[in-house]
Amino acid sequence: MTLKLNDGIKSVVETAAGLMNGAARRLFMATVVVQMGRGGQRKSERELGWNRDVIRKGLHELRSGITCVDAFSARGRKRFEDHQPGLKKDIREICEASSQTDPTFRTTKLYRRLTAGEVRRQLLEEKGCRLDQVPSERSLRRKLTEMGFFPKKVIKSKPVRKIKETDAIFEQVRITNSKADSDENTVRLSIDTKAVVNIGDLSRGGKSRQGEETIDHDFEPEAKLTPFGMLRPDTKETWLFFTTGSVTSDFMVDRLEEIWPDLKKTVILRIPW
């Protein structure tokens, strides 16, 4: 007679299997599968949620009469979060509050500013965990990496981007620029210097539309140049200079003297009588 699983039979079988463990549970599962007939393994997996590997092992024990010894000690130690289900949630809450993404957006990794020791301290003090509920600092460091929180150096000091006088300062700059633009005897220039540029067959971390070939490693550059530029806002004229040294005040004055003969021709000099 083939065993058919209705709601009542399923409830009894699931309850009985839950009360057993080890070889006894496997033997019971194998007996039920045999009684279900052809396709019993697939049906028990679908209807009862039983693992087919466990079922096969139980069928082997049922047919051979040999009981397989369970080597539970050889399976290794369970992960810490298996004993503490809420541990990962607490760690994520602590780290996400102070993590940042890669500023270059080349990766989706999250970089944490907290050390493993600080995370452990917050778990104990702020989350109220006991010592036996929190892994060691070394284990916690490995756990943070597994969860996708990678270490990053902490910024010691961050410059203030805006102060309360910022708007007033920019308004005064705008007024001064307007006065300079309306004065025919004044030439207003905007000057700026950029980061040092390495010269050589370097990848520069980007792409080239011209398909430039580079070596597979960035070796020591042939030279290092610092760009310095000047812009005349009213005529949109630009001047670009490079130096192998630092952009000092003397360097700026020398460049101004270099372009002054051309600028002087465009200035209407009004000589008071």
pTM score above 0.75: no
Tell me whether residue 1 is in a domain.
no
Q: Are residues 21 and 51 in the same domain?
A: yes
Interatomic CA distance for residues 250 and 245, integer angstroms: 12
Domain assignment present for 157: no
Confidence at residue 268, expressed as pLDDT on a 0 to 100 scale? 55
Give mean pLDDT, residues 23-28.
89
Give tens-digit pLDDT for 232-255.
888 888 999 999 888 999 999 999
What's the pLDDT score for residue 172? 92
- Give per-residue pLDDT as tens, 180-214: 888 877 888 889 998 888 887 776 665 666 766 66
Parent domain of 248 = 186-201+220-268
The tokens for 1 are 């007679």
Q: 17, 49, 71 — which closes off a domain?
A: 71
pLDDT reported for residue 272? 45
What does the DSSP assignment read for 33-80?
HHHH-TTHHHHHHHHH---HHHHHHHHHHHHH-PPPPP-GGGG-PPPH
Q: Are 65 and 84 in a shared domain? A: no
Q: Fill in the amino acid letter for 19.
A: L
Give the pLDDT band (50/70/90) at residue 271: very low
CA–CA separation, 62 and 111 (whole Å): 54
What are the pLDDT digits (tens) for 161-171? 777 888 898 89
- The CATH number of the domain where 147 resides is what? 1.10.10
The pLDDT tens digits of the residues spanning 80-119 come to 777 778 888 888 888 887 777 666 666 677 777 788 888 8
* Per-residue model confidence (pLDDT) at position 88: 86
How far apart, in whole angstroms, are the C-alpha atoms of residue 4 and residue 229? 86
Are 243 and 228 in contact by the 8 Å Cβ rule? The answer is yes
Structure tokens at 181: 């633009």
Within a domain: 156: no
Residues facing 101 on adjacent strands: 110
The pLDDT-based confidence of 273 (bands split at 50, 70, 90) is: very low
Helices (H) then strands (E): counts for the chain? 10, 7
pLDDT of 212 reads 64
How many distinct structural domains can be found in the chain?
3
